[in-house]
Chain A
């Protein structure tokens, strides 16, 4: 029983991490109808810039205060991500308004390649450490309830907490601020939003910036877990089933989808994996999402698709 709960909790926490990446997809799709395959590259880019700036800044300024170095690195990386987001919108998407979904998808794939290349050209292509002082050592919990207690990774716990905070902040931003209202209006209906004077271009820039910052948070957390390296850009592929499971247009969907996929992956790997040779978690997530889709083609919380001739 304790082992089961341990696996379950591990799944929930890695699920939160998937939702972090999934959120980036959802934000952009909701506001501009672009399915952003470059999200993974953005996460990688953010993680690389964070890792390298936290190394370079103390060198340049000649200080060795880890906290200040990290803080400055986060600020600089955030600025970098804002610039990237703005450039993507300004140079690419502005010129592709009203194109087909497949064309936009390919364009974001192209952006992804470009970012992968630029990131590794500027920042190098080794594995870099991100050390933001996340606690590494695992702790035992609930020793009084179960024999031997439950082993929990503190790092995962902190990461899940940060993810939850980010979601909370985004929700407040979307629901309570004027800009958030404008974003929701654009998401509902581009033309109607434009007709009441909401500037579409600026809204898209804001959305990409928010997605860029989300990528930074995801990059820092994933990067401090796995190291900032090229394989981070494949994290996006693992977050895709989360997005379609939750529905492309729903923020709560991304969270709940992440939790379901996280738990499903871990449980299947532990209980099913040994029978078929292991390593099944990556396609199992897709199969799980597919089964859900067969019953609800628009995902758990997606908008109902209505077809008219």
Chain B
């Protein structure tokens, strides 16, 4: 009904190779982007920006990074939070140690430093696989956690690694109000997700997928595992590093290493698995789910407690929150182990044929 491809013929190679080959998709994506840039700033109040939309955008970017590594290249990582931390602290150091460094450049340089660190800590993937690798990536997590707490140079001698930055200035545009921050993050996210979409359908993305599906077979057909795996680690860490820098600079303003602890790594992996491994859209679904769920649960519990006239203490709410969170995650994995993206694509296939499925 909504989705008819009848009569759409591709007559040139160019039209066959477009990112979104179906016009309906193309228009839908453009409409969503336009709405996000123009509609949302008009409709939404400050609380929503700060509590939901900005974290959602930044964590989507991070989830994209994790998805490239876990979903496309098949290397499970539990050190994603560490890459974010490296990005954030590297960007901080560029900003304060180099005179006149533009904040955007510092953020991107932070991403590049994170990519370098990712290559170093991704090197064991050449020898070690699967769950052993997952545990090995925890080495990065704990090492960087420690480094930003104890090595004073990284944090400019700040106590317990807590640092802060002023509002970002981008070519005369001072990013201080929640709407500005939202637009800034949205702009970066759009550019980065288009880049990711293109990367994974290009030569390098196909190499990653071949490695994911079976690395010995991929080697036999001439893919260099070292190049493919390390490039996946580098790209993924770059995305994570930029996301980390944004998280520190734009969302938090001042932060300490605990903002990028191991819980953050688990959270990012949750996003990718619940959203859908190996699907760009999955990163967004997963991030939305994980960002909104705790806030929703929190409100619901207060509401339900109000019905029964029970005063729910804050500690109890947080316990019930993690309890329900855990249970929902398990429930989701049982119902749809391939993630929300799979539900989405099944639904779309149905819509293509509806109302005449035969």
- Let me know if A125 and B330 touch, CB within 8 A: no
Interface residues of A in 271-294 (CB under 8 A from B): 276-280, 282-283, 286-287, 289-290, 293-294
User: Do A243 and B135 form a contact, CB below 8 Å, given A116-B322, A117-B319, A282-B142?
Assistant: yes
How many residues of chain B are within 8 Å of chain A by beta carbon?
Answer: 50
Closest Cβ neighbor of A280 among chain B residues: B146
Interface pairs (21), CB distance under 8 Å: A96-B337, A105-B131, A106-B274, A107-B333, A107-B334, A110-B327, A111-B330, A113-B325, A117-B321, A117-B322, A121-B320, A240-B135, A244-B136, A277-B151, A283-B146, A290-B124, A293-B127, A297-B127, A299-B132, A307-B215, A309-B217
User: Do A114 and B150 form a contact, CB below 8 Å, given A96-B334, A293-B127, A297-B128?
Assistant: no
The 5 closest A-B pairs by CB, nearest first: A117-B323, A113-B326, A114-B326, A286-B139, A110-B329
Cα-based distance from A309 to B213 in the complex (angstroms): 11
Q: Which of B53-61, B89-97, B160-168, B265-273 lies at the interface with chain A? A: B265-273
User: Do A293 and B142 form a contact, CB below 8 Å, given A243-B135, A309-B217?
Assistant: no
B residues in contact with A244, CB < 8 Å: 131-132, 135-136
- Let me know if B131 and A117 touch, CB within 8 A: no
Residue of A101, A276, A287, A309 ringed by the most chain B CB atoms within 10 A: A309
In the assembled complex, A196 has its CB within 8 A of some CB on chain B: no
Residue of B132, B138, B277 ringed by the most chain A CB atoms within 10 A: B132
Cα-based distance from A155 to B220 in the complex (angstroms): 56
Q: With contacts A107-B333, A286-B142, A293-B127 known, what are 4 further pairs, Cβ within 8 A?
A: A110-B333, A121-B319, A276-B150, A279-B150
In the assembled complex, B310 has its CB within 8 A of some CB on chain A: no
Closest Cβ neighbor of A121 among chain B residues: B319
A residues in contact with B114, CB < 8 Å: none
User: Do A283 and B334 form a contact, CB below 8 Å, given A105-B134, A243-B135, A289-B136?
Assistant: no
Interface residues of B in 117-145 (CB under 8 A from A): 124, 127-132, 134-136, 138-139, 142-143, 145
User: Do A287 and B143 form a contact, CB below 8 Å, given A102-B277, A107-B333, A293-B127?
Assistant: yes
In the assembled complex, B149 has its CB within 8 A of some CB on chain A: yes
Interface residues of B in 196-229 (CB under 8 A from A): 214-217, 220
- Let me know if B216 and A308 touch, CB within 8 A: yes
Closest Cβ neighbor of A282 among chain B residues: B142
Closest Cβ neighbor of B330 among chain A residues: A110
How many residues of chain A are within 8 Å of chain B by beta carbon?
Answer: 51
B residues in contact with A268, CB < 8 Å: none
In the assembled complex, A153 has its CB within 8 A of some CB on chain B: no
Residue of A111, A241, A283, A289 ringed by the most chain B CB atoms within 10 A: A283
Cα-based distance from A290 to B124 in the complex (angstroms): 8
Closest Cβ neighbor of B327 among chain A residues: A114
Closest Cβ neighbor of A107 among chain B residues: B333
In the assembled complex, B262 has its CB within 8 A of some CB on chain A: yes
- Let me know if A109 and B139 touch, CB within 8 A: no
- Let me know if A111 and B135 touch, CB within 8 A: no
- Let me know if A103 and B273 touch, CB within 8 A: yes
User: Do A241 and B135 form a contact, CB below 8 Å, given A125-B315, A279-B149?
Assistant: yes
B residues in contact with A101, CB < 8 Å: 76, 130-131
